[in-house]
Amino acid sequence: MKMLNQVKITFAGRSVNEGFARAAVAAFLVQLDPTVPQLADLKTAVSEAVTNCIVHAYPSCIGTITLTAALYEGGVVRITVTDRGVGIPDVQQAMQPLYTTGDPEERAGLGFAVMQNFMDKVRVSSTPGRGTRVTMTKKLDTRPRPST
């Protein structure tokens, strides 16, 4: 599968940057002319991945988050969100709905479930003490573009 375009941004793991990440991905994806529901799905998945980094990867400090979005032939989008935070000791357990390492009064433990619901594929790799990488893939239905 041939890559057509890619963008990589790095930003501080502050809650105000979650909206920035959503907007940046949306702006990059407009070149595919996605439908409004497709764009909403992608933005929601990005929001969850970035929020997980902010809340869980860096519980006591502001760390760095890197987001990469790549477009491939056939309307395939791959978004990767990476941190160098505390890592996840048990990825299988963390991906279970309702599991959270945060305050259960504040966190529902649905971040990975939401990502899986809105994307075709979600892959998580993590090393305790070294960080986590979440790779999300979705194939968009391509719409014919008017000829110019």
Contact criterion met (CB below 8 Å) for 120 and 139: yes
> Domains of the chain by range and CATH?
3-139 (3.30.565.10)
Catalytic residue among 22, 107, 117, 145: 107
133 tagged catalytic: no
Predicted structure pTM score: 0.85
Q: What is the pLDDT of residue 88?
A: 84
Catalytic residue among 52, 84, 123, 133: 52
The pLDDT > 70 percentage for the chain reads 83
SS3 of residue 52 by DSSP:
helix
48 tagged catalytic: yes
117 tagged catalytic: no
Tens of pLDDT, residues 36-94 = 999 999 999 999 999 989 988 998 899 999 999 999 999 999 999 999 999 988 777 77
Tell me the average pLDDT across 108-115.
68
Q: What is the pLDDT of residue 50?
A: 95
State yes or no: pLDDT of 102 exceeds 80.
no
What radius of gyration, in Å, describes the C-alpha atoms of the chain? 15
